[in-house]
Amino acid sequence: MANHQQDATWTVRTTPGPQASFVQEVRTAADVNQQGASAHPTVRFSIHQPIYVLCVVRGVTEGDAHRLSVRWLLNGALAPVAGAHSSTLVTRNGPVAFTLIYPLPGDGMAKLYWDEPVGDNNDAANDAFLAEAVAFLVQ
């Protein structure tokens, strides 16, 4: 991953995966409001600041349950933080948010996976369960 720490033009970069139709409108924010919307959208964060990844889930049929997982990366590797690989159960369409605090600076990324099997640690760019990846900067 390129070093963007000195790049003043660093902007939102998202990469859709094979499951992108279920996980949409992926973005990062420094805060969320009571409705779960991004109150302060940004791609630049300070160390020890909460980083929120928000998305909107679509295509869930009533009565179905799905697993939405996130892997938080720092400089291309799993972030050295508890909770860097977590998931939530999704039973309806609507907003979902994940949050993590990075203790170190670098190039960050959150990869969202739809119905990824428990214990699957595949991190390939063409992973069949990948929904979206969003990049951000931690300074």
Query: Which position has the token pair 């159960």?
Result: 89
Mean of the pLDDT values across residues 46-67? 96
For residue 43, give every residue at least 6 positions away whose Cβ sits within 8 Å of its Cβ, in sequence order, or none.
10, 11, 12, 13, 28, 135, 136, 137
Query: Which position has the token pair 């996976």?
Result: 113
Mean pLDDT of the chain: 87
Q: Read off the pLDDT of residues 74-85 as tens digits, 9 standing for 90 and up.
A: 999 999 999 999
φ/ψ of 85, rounded to 5, equals -135, 105
Identify the band that residue 67 occupies on the pLDDT scale cut at 50, 70 and 90: very high
CA 82 to chain centre: 15
Identify the band that residue 11 occupies on the pLDDT scale cut at 50, 70 and 90: low
Percent of the chain with pLDDT over 70: 88
Report the pLDDT value the prediction gives residue 4, as an integer from 0 to 100. 38
Which one has a higher pLDDT value, 11 or 30?
30
Q: Read off the pLDDT of residues 79-104 as tens digits, 9 standing for 90 and up.
A: 999 999 999 999 999 999 999 999 99
Report the pLDDT value the prediction gives residue 3, as an integer from 0 to 100. 36
Report the pLDDT value the prediction gives residue 125, as an integer from 0 to 100. 67
CATH: 2.60.40.10, 3.40.50.1580, 3.10.20.30, 3.40.1160.10. Which one for 15-117+126-138?
Answer: 2.60.40.10
Which 8-state DSSP code applies to residue 17? -
